Amino acid sequence: MSERAFHTVAADAAGRLTDHWRALATGALPVVPPGPPGTTLKALPQRPPERGEDLADILEDTWRTIVPQLVHWQHPHFLGYYPTNNSPASVLAELVTAGLGAQGMMWSTSPAATELEQRVCDWLAHALDLPSRFTHESGQGGGVIQDSASSAALVAMVAALNRASAGRWRDHGTEGRLRVYCTDQANSCVPKAARIAGAGRPVLVPTVPGTQVMDVAALARRLDADRAAGLVPAAVVATVGTTVTCATDPVHEIGTVCRERGVWLHVDAAYAGSAGLCPELRDADARPDLADSYAVNAHKWMRTGTPCDVLWVADRNGLTDALGASASYLSDQSTDADEVVDFKDWQIPLGRPMRALKLWYVLRAHGLEELREVVRHDIRLAVLLASLVEQEHGLHLVTRRLGLVVFRAETDERTQGIARRLAGEPDILCTAATVDGRPVLRAALGSPYADETTVRRAWSIIRGHAAAVS
């Protein structure tokens, strides 16, 4: 295919995307696709073509076959999970990144990719008011872009296990003695990371009754009891903004407990971390001053398309001791002279795309002021939605934190009935979950196209379904 043809088709793709965004903004598309499982599989040939096809035809097929069967995460009525934001700046950066095709596993394999990532992670650390030891400028720690909060948790965990075992984890695994701690409110990626890292099921620390946050005294007792029993507490994972209710563990207090006992503290701030852009939303109890690592998904609430998770560590050697990989073909002078950062040693895979261009474009194109306004705007919409819930007879607001609204009906049966109806509704997507053993519905604001009108429209759909369930 000629470069000229690429130019034409890329312009067509850009036009289709801007039309698509407009359709989302005007509510002209459903949130959820109509087809049953297998719809797309049926529409696709079972074998790849022998001869190349025209890119224009492939693009056409994308809109004919794929787009109608997508869930539109950017839709203003998409209230499920947590948002996965996007923006034109992020999309453009993805195109440029792909086009340049750089692979930044080591500084030497793409110097600008590595140095841009160092700078952009430092920018964001400053913007979120993170401790300076998390920056590359400090010479001790630094940030690295991972694909997800799950990878960030895994990477932090293996560093913690390696540190707790004085490096034995690398060669001997956990030897059955290393332990990881979190609450039952931690995201599912935390126990999964513990499993993959070889630590097995994490120890579940109780939450304070009536809340969803870690009981710090219980944590301290458990760490001490486990140590006395010959186990090695290696890592505690605290959450800023839990997935179900956006609750925040007392990170600073947990940090004190961990610091006193030499236990690694990883903070998962996948969603709520972005709120730290706004000074008035920073919570002194959630400051990660005593944490060893901290992760935020820029792809949730910072207008940066997925994947883009930023993981910061206070001690880069802790990470590279666990994850460093060497081979004859990876040797180079700058690495050997310890002059540079090689991000392959800060992540699971060896290779990596130029991950930072996307965040760089977004931070520059929007500026911090606008990104703060995004957070404030979504919180205002959540406050509006929460007030609509409160005005509704028979529905109860469980909590509204940041852009998340959690609610239920007066009986569990009715909540489940509403959830079942909503699950079949193409024009809205909410997530059902459980709080204190009771079913709830979650609505998380975050679409770039959401405003007061779309919130009221979404609410009238939810309300209609609620009214149909007695």
Ligand X SMILES: Cc1ncc(COP(=O)(O)O)c(C=O)c1O
Question: Which residues contribute to the site for ligand X (CB under 6 A)?
Answer: 81-82, 148-150, 187, 189, 239, 241-243, 268, 270-271, 297, 309
Q: Which CB sits closer to ligand X, 193 or 409?
A: 193
Q: What is the smallest separation between the CB atom of 310 and ligand X, expressed in angstroms?
A: 11
3-state secondary structure of 214: strand
Q: Which CB sits closer to ligand X, 247 or 395?
A: 247
Q: What is the smallest separation between the CB atom of 300 and ligand X, expressed in angstroms?
A: 7
3-state secondary structure of 324: coil
> Do 216 and 183 contact (CB within 8 A), yes or no?
no
Vertex 459: Cα angle to 469 and 84 (nearest 5): 115
307 cis-preceded (ω within 30 degrees of 0):
yes
Q: What is the smallest separation between the CB atom of 306 and ligand X, expressed in angstroms?
A: 7
Backbone dihedral region of 442: left (phi > 0), alpha (psi from -120 to 50 degrees) or beta? beta
Q: What is the smallest separation between the CB atom of 188 and ligand X, expressed in angstroms?
A: 8
What backbone phi and psi angles, to 5 degrees, belong to 456?
-65, -40
Measure the CA–CA gap between 137 and 424, rounded to whole angstroms: 51
Closest to 297 in 3D by CA, of 311, 315, 318: 311
Share of the chain residues as helix, strand and coil, in percent rounded to the nearest 5: 50, 15, 35
Q: Which CB sits closer to ligand X, 145 or 220?
A: 145
Q: Which CB sits closer to ligand X, 182 or 263?
A: 182
What backbone phi and psi angles, to 5 degrees, belong to 448?
-60, -15
Measure the CA–CA gap between 362 and 152, rounded to whole angstroms: 21
Q: Which CB sits closer to ligand X, 205 or 270?
A: 270
Q: Which CB sits closer to ligand X, 107 or 346?
A: 346
Q: Which CB sits closer to ligand X, 122 or 268?
A: 268
3-state secondary structure of 76: coil
Q: What is the smallest separation between the CB atom of 77 and ligand X, expressed in angstroms?
A: 19
Name residue, tokens 């492939």. 58
Q: Which CB sits closer to ligand X, 106 or 152?
A: 152
Q: What is the smallest separation between the CB atom of 405 and ligand X, expressed in angstroms?
A: 15
Measure the CA–CA gap between 307 and 347, rounded to whole angstroms: 14
Q: What is the smallest separation between the CB atom of 295 and ligand X, expressed in angstroms?
A: 8
Measure the CA–CA gap between 193 and 237, rounded to whole angstroms: 11
Q: What is the smallest separation between the CB atom of 327 and ligand X, expressed in angstroms?
A: 29
Q: Which CB sits closer to ligand X, 106 or 310?
A: 310
- Cα distances (angstroms) measured from residue 189 to each of 50, 193, 232, 237, 268: 40, 6, 22, 11, 10
3-state secondary structure of 424: coil
> Do 244 and 442 contact (CB within 8 A), yes or no?
yes
Q: What is the smallest separation between the CB atom of 192 and ligand X, expressed in angstroms?
A: 9
Closest to 406 in 3D by CA, of 426, 427, 434, 378: 434
- Take residue 76 and report the two structure tokens written for it: 């203003």
Counting every residue, how long is the chain? 470
- Take residue 201 and report the two structure tokens written for it: 């099921």
Q: Which CB sits closer to ligand X, 417 or 446?
A: 446
Q: What is the smallest separation between the CB atom of 64 and ligand X, expressed in angstroms?
A: 29
Dihedral sign for Cα 95, 97, 99, 101, please.
negative
Close Cβ partners of 289 (under 8 Å, ≥ 6 residues apart) = 131, 252, 255
Q: Which CB sits closer to ligand X, 82 or 312?
A: 82
Vertex 299: Cα angle to 293 and 302 (nearest 5): 95
Please count the other Cβ atoms lying within 10 Å of the Cβ belonging to residue 456: 12
Q: What is the smallest separation between the CB atom of 81 and ligand X, expressed in angstroms?
A: 6
Name residue, tokens 């126990």. 191
Q: What is the smallest separation between the CB atom of 212 and ligand X, expressed in angstroms?
A: 12
Q: Which CB sits closer to ligand X, 21 or 81?
A: 81
- Take residue 426 and report the two structure tokens written for it: 């193409």
